[in-house]
């Protein structure tokens, strides 16, 4: 049953039009054609390569069929006078028109009253196109004859509303649309119907997860906002109106008795950290604990310092949890969290791996998340302890295109910080070849002489942290030579945590002018005085990553620049990426482009990819369906609950239907 269904949902790559037989005299080289002809002559030649040649003619012209693999039976079948159909691409050979390994038919059905296009499937090794076609045809036959039943799971009313054909009709036409429907399955209505249903199943499974989560009890954090007010008074600026709106949304969630599941998205530099701080204060004021998890050691360390500065005056203990701290320190941090002496824990994923126990954990903040899947997020809930479900606040590293957010994060509510703090000047971006290195060095010198600071990023050259570190070391040496009189510092992944931290602190204090770094500085790092970003080998990085790195500058009021340095020659795709970066600073625009260029897997990071591998749907061509799918999912939940389970079963299978952990 499953295997039949899999066959039926196997989407063709394209379609061939075999409904029209062409005359040889009218066929052009390069075309995929069907010809009907008679064998004139067959012979085996062994010039360079032993091959079977067969000349066929239809009265308007002749074509040579060429086979490199053949057996005696095939040779025998091509005897003189035999009529046959040849299907394949016509090429201009040295001795006139030829076809290489065409598909042959010796008898064929009478002209069909309803002619259909022929599917060409993606095949895997060992499974021949013709075999696959035969298997699918057999499955379709069983469907027609009623041996196999594909229940209609999208109710009539919704099919009408969203203009969807019935499932059986869609499946039939997926494997043999009428001529004129075009030969691209992406645009085919039948495929779109199936994609709709698949996205619907996905959406329902996420909504189900969300519903389950909402049924759990969470501590209602009804703080007066007294601590928040004291905290905000210590800041040299006030919240942007977007920050105010989003933090109010968060506060409302926290005050309800169900676990918050909220995604906060905002461009780099939009001030997401403050949203986390305010949420943490609500937890602390209500007598609970909060935990903040960052994706890298460097960022976690930076947050630790920031939050210590912010929270110490309020008398709030902050504990540091990392995989790389010494045993004694780690024990002390754990003890502080276990007895409740520390109200806030900050760390990397070690927070949730080590046996860290919390006295009263009520809030988990995941910062700059783009690498965690839904399952991992669910696993974090377990940390709440008996009877306590912690609230979850997830903050994205870069904006996520709306369609993608609605699909990948459908179990979360979404808030957007769609405004940058005032007084920022947009980063000016230039793209240049590495041959202009001396010019780049001059720019660094001049920026530093004006009291500014610069990053020089050497991205991963091979999949090796060691090689990357070596490249960064070499670059630092070169720059020290070229920039005598300036202080050049270095951070990379192979340094010890305290060494990295020391370099970052010196950079922050202005003791280092130029920080040579690997992509460890990719996310979150905040040094407002740095105004020049140089990214070497920029052609190797994806859009989101480049945008993140660029986001390290332009954080102060000073005009900032980013130089994207590439090693020629530049591929078309890389040129398009760099061009996009040069043209816009808007993370939402960049995210949309990234989705179009690389697809959802790359935009969301590897973890999410598994979840978003669809059989039929493709978020690039089906993005426009997402809103309707979401609406339909809501209607299904309200009015046709009985159809939800079979729908999940059909598309996600028994085990994953509810994405259970
Ligand atoms: P991101 O959204 O990238 O995590 P951060 O939280 O690191 O951004 O904030 C970027 C910088 O902007 C920080 O230096 C922060 O102190 C500053 N900032 C945040 N909110 C405001 C604001 N409302 N007004 C001025 N500066 C702000
Ligand atoms: Mg941040």
- What CATH number did the domain enclosing 566 receive? 3.40.50.300
347 alpha carbon to ligand 1 midpoint, in Å?
20
Position 566 pLDDT exceeds 90: yes
Position 579 pLDDT exceeds 90: yes
* Minimum-distance ligand 1 atom for the alpha carbon of 243: 23
423 touches 253 (CB < 8 A): no
614 alpha carbon to ligand 1 midpoint, in Å?
37
Q: Name which residue leads in pLDDT, 246 or 75.
A: 246
Position 657 pLDDT exceeds 70: no
Same domain, 379 and 481: no
pLDDT band at 612 (very low <50, low <70, confident <90, very high): low
* Minimum-distance ligand 1 atom for the alpha carbon of 266: 2
For residue 455, give its domain range: 428-584
Kindly state if the Cβ of 266 falls inside 6 Å of ligand 1: yes
Can you give the pLDDT at residue 469?
A: 75
Can you give the pLDDT at residue 386?
A: 60
Question: Considering every ligand atom, which ligand is closest to the CA of 272?
Answer: 1
Tokens matching residue 382: 């377990």
Kindly state if the Cβ of 399 falls inside 6 Å of ligand 1: no
The pLDDT tens digits of the residues spanning 175-231 come to 988 887 677 777 788 899 999 999 999 899 888 888 887 788 899 998 888 999 999
Domain-located, residue 367 = yes
pLDDT band at 427 (very low <50, low <70, confident <90, very high): very high
Kindly state if the Cβ of 240 falls inside 6 Å of ligand 1: yes
When pLDDT is averaged across residues 539-566 and rounded to a whole number, the result is: 89
Closest CA relative to residue 60, chosen from 90, 27, 30: 27
Same domain, 409 and 327: yes
Kindly state if the Cβ of 555 falls inside 6 Å of ligand 1: yes
Position 117 pLDDT exceeds 60: yes
548 alpha carbon to ligand 2 midpoint, in Å?
10
Domain-located, residue 290 = yes
- Write the burial class of residue 47 (CB in 10 Å: 0-12 exposed, 13-18 middle, 19+ buried): exposed
SS (H, E, C) 543-588: HHHHHHHHCCCCCCCCCCEEEEEECCCCCHHHHHHHHHHHHCCCHH
Kindly state if the Cβ of 421 falls inside 6 Å of ligand 1: yes
295 alpha carbon to ligand 1 midpoint, in Å?
18
When pLDDT is averaged across residues 534-550 and rounded to a whole number, the result is: 90
Kindly state if the Cβ of 274 falls inside 6 Å of ligand 1: yes
Tokens matching residue 447: 């920026």
Can you give the pLDDT at residue 78?
A: 93
Can you give the pLDDT at residue 309?
A: 95
Position 388 pLDDT exceeds 80: no
SS3 of 362, please? Answer: strand
Position 372 pLDDT exceeds 70: no
Same domain, 312 and 457: no
- Write the burial class of residue 26 (CB in 10 Å: 0-12 exposed, 13-18 middle, 19+ buried): exposed
Give, as residue ranges, everything with CB less than 5 Å from ion ligand 2. 272, 524
Q: Is the peptide bond before 569 cis (omega within 30 degrees of 0)?
A: yes
Same domain, 385 and 474: no
Kindly state if the Cβ of 273 falls inside 6 Å of ligand 1: yes
pLDDT band at 373 (very low <50, low <70, confident <90, very high): low
Q: Which of 560, 584, 608 is the last residue of a domain?
A: 584
Can you give the pLDDT at residue 534?
A: 96
Can you give the pLDDT at residue 181?
A: 67
Domain-located, residue 73 = no
pLDDT band at 596 (very low <50, low <70, confident <90, very high): confident
Position 502 pLDDT exceeds 80: yes
Domain-located, residue 131 = no
Tokens matching residue 465: 């942290």
Same domain, 408 and 462: no
Can you give the pLDDT at residue 597?
A: 80
Position 158 pLDDT exceeds 50: yes
Can you give the pLDDT at residue 381?
A: 65
Q: Which of 564, 584, 604 is the last residue of a domain?
A: 584
Same domain, 406 and 554: no
The pLDDT tens digits of the residues spanning 164-183 come to 889 999 999 999 888 876 77
Same domain, 450 and 496: yes
Same domain, 443 and 480: yes
Position 604 pLDDT exceeds 70: no
Please spell the DSSP secondary structure of 471-485, one letter per residue: HHHHHHHHHHHHTTT
Position 354 pLDDT exceeds 80: no
Q: Name which residue leads in pLDDT, 498 or 613.
A: 498
* Minimum-distance ligand 1 atom for the alpha carbon of 368: 4
pLDDT band at 471 (very low <50, low <70, confident <90, very high): confident
Same domain, 472 and 539: yes
Q: Name which residue leads in pLDDT, 327 or 605.
A: 327
Cα 256 to Cα 251: distance, rounded to the nearest angstrom: 9
Domain-located, residue 644 = no
Which residue's C-alpha comes closest to atom 9 of ligand 1?
Answer: 271
pLDDT band at 659 (very low <50, low <70, confident <90, very high): very low
When pLDDT is averaged across residues 442-459 and rounded to a whole number, the result is: 92
Which residue's C-alpha comes closest to atom 27 of ligand 1?
Answer: 421
Share of the chain above pLDDT 70, in %: 92
Share of the chain above pLDDT 90, in %: 45
Which residue's C-alpha comes closest to atom 24 of ligand 1?
Answer: 421
How many separate domains does the chain show?
2
Same domain, 530 and 486: yes
Q: DSSP assignment, residue 368?
A: E
SS (H, E, C) 63-123: EEEEECCCCHHHHHHCCCCCEEEEEEECEEECCEEEEECCEEECCCCCCCCCCCCEEECCC
Task: Strand 83-89: give its sheet, edge to edge.
Answer: 91-93, 96-100, 62-67, 50-57, 32-46, 83-89, 103-105
When pLDDT is averaged across residues 632-652 and rounded to a whole number, the result is: 91
Same domain, 364 and 267: yes
HSE on the CB side for 328, CA within 13 Å? 0
Q: Among 103-107, 366-370, 479-483, 494-498, whose mean pLDDT is lowest?
A: 366-370
Which residue's C-alpha comes closest to atom 19 of ligand 1?
Answer: 271
Domain-located, residue 114 = no
Q: Name which residue leads in pLDDT, 124 or 342.
A: 342
Position 661 pLDDT exceeds 80: no
346 alpha carbon to ligand 2 midpoint, in Å?
14
Report pTM.
0.75
Position 463 pLDDT exceeds 80: no
Same domain, 284 and 389: yes
Q: Which of 584, 605, 621 is the last residue of a domain?
A: 584
Tokens matching residue 6: 């899999």
The mean of the pLDDT values for the chain is 86
141 alpha carbon to ligand 1 midpoint, in Å?
62
When pLDDT is averaged across residues 48-58 and rounded to a whole number, the result is: 91
The pLDDT tens digits of the residues spanning 269-306 come to 899 999 999 999 999 999 999 999 988 888 898 899 99
Domain-located, residue 155 = no
Domain-located, residue 398 = yes
The pLDDT tens digits of the residues spanning 314-338 come to 999 999 988 777 788 888 888 999 8
């Amino acid at each position: 049953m499953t295997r039949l269904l899999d066959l039926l949902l196997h989407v063709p790559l394209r379609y061939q039009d075999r409904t029209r037989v062409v005359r040889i005299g009218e066929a052009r080289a390069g075309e995929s054609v069907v010809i009907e002809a008679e064998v004139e002559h067959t012979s085996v030649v062994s010039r360079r390569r032993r091959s079977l040649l067969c000349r066929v003619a239809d009265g308007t012209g002749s074509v040579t069929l060429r086979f490199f693999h053949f057996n005696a039976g095939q040779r025998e079948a091509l005897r003189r006078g035999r009529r046959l159909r040849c299907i394949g691409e016509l090429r201009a050979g040295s001795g006139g028109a030829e076809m290489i390994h065409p598909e042959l038919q010796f008898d064929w059905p009478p002209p069909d009253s309803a002619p259909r296009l022929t599917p060409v499937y993606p095949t895997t090794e060992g499974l021949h196109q013709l075999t696959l076609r035969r298997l699918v045809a057999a499955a379709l036959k069983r469907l027609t004859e009623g041996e196999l039943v594909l229940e209609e799971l999208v109710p009539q009313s919704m099919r009408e509303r969203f203009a969807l054909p019935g499932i059986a009709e869609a499946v039939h036409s997926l494997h043999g649309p009428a001529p004129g429907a075009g030969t691209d399955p992406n645009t085919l209505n039948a495929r779109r119907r199936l994609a709709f249903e698949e996205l619907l199943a996905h959406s329902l499974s996420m909504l189900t997860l969300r519903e389950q989560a909402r049924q759990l009890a969470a501590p209602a954090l009804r703080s007066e906002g007294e601590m928040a007010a004291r905290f905000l008074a210590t800041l040299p600026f006030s919240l942007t109106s977007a920050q105010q709106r989003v933090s109010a949304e968060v506060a409302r969630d926290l005050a309800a008795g169900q676990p918050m599941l909220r995604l906060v998205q905002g461009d780099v530099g939009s001030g997401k950290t403050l949203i986390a701080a305010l949420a943490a204060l609500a937890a602390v004021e209500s007598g609970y604990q909060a935990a903040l998890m960052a994706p890298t050691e460097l960022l976690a360390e930076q947050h630790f310092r920031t939050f210590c500065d912010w929270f110490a005056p309020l008398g709030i203990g902050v504990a540091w949890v990392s995989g790389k701290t010494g045993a004694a320190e780690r024990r002390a941090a754990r003890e502080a969290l276990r007895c409740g002496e520390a109200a806030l824990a900050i760390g990397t994923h070690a927070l949730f791996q080590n046996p860290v126990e919390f006295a009263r954990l009520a809030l988990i903040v995941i910062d700059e998340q783009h690498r965690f899947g839904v399952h991992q997020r669910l696993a974090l809930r377990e940390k709440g302890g008996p009877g306590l479900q912690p609230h979850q606040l997830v903050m994205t590293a870069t904006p996520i295109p709306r369609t993608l957010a609605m699909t990948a994060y459908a179990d979360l509510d979404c808030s957007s910080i769609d405004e940058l703090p005032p007084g920022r000047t947009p980063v000016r971006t230039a793209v240049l070849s590495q041959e202009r290195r001396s010019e780049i060095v001059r720019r660094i010198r001049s920026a530093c002489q004006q009291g500014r600071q610069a990053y020089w990023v050497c991205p991963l050259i091979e999949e090796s942290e060691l090689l990357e570190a070596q490249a960064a070391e070499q670059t630092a040496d070169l720059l020290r030579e070229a920039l005598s009189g300036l202080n050049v510092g270095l951070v990379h992944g192979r340094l010890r945590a305290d060494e990295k931290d020391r370099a970052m602190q010196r950079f922050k204090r202005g003791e280092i002018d130029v920080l040579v770094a690997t992509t460890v500085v990719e996310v979150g790092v905040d040094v407002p005085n740095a105004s020049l970003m140089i990214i070497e080998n920029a052609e190797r990085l994806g859009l989101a990553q480049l945008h993140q790195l660029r986001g390290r500058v332009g954080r102060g009021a000073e005009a900032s620049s980013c130089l994207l340095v590439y090693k020629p020659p530049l591929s078309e795709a890389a040129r398009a990426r760099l061009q996009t970066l040069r043209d816009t600073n808007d993370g939402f625009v960049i995210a949309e482009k990234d989705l179009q260029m690389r697809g959802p897997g790359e935009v969301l990071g590897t973890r999410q990819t598994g979840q978003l591998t669809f059989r039929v749907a493709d978020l690039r061509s089906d993005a426009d369906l997402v809103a309707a799918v979401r609406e339909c999912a809501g209607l299904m939940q309200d009015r046709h609950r009985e159809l939800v389970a079979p729908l999940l079963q059909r598309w996600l299978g028994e085990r994953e239907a509810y994405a259970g952990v």
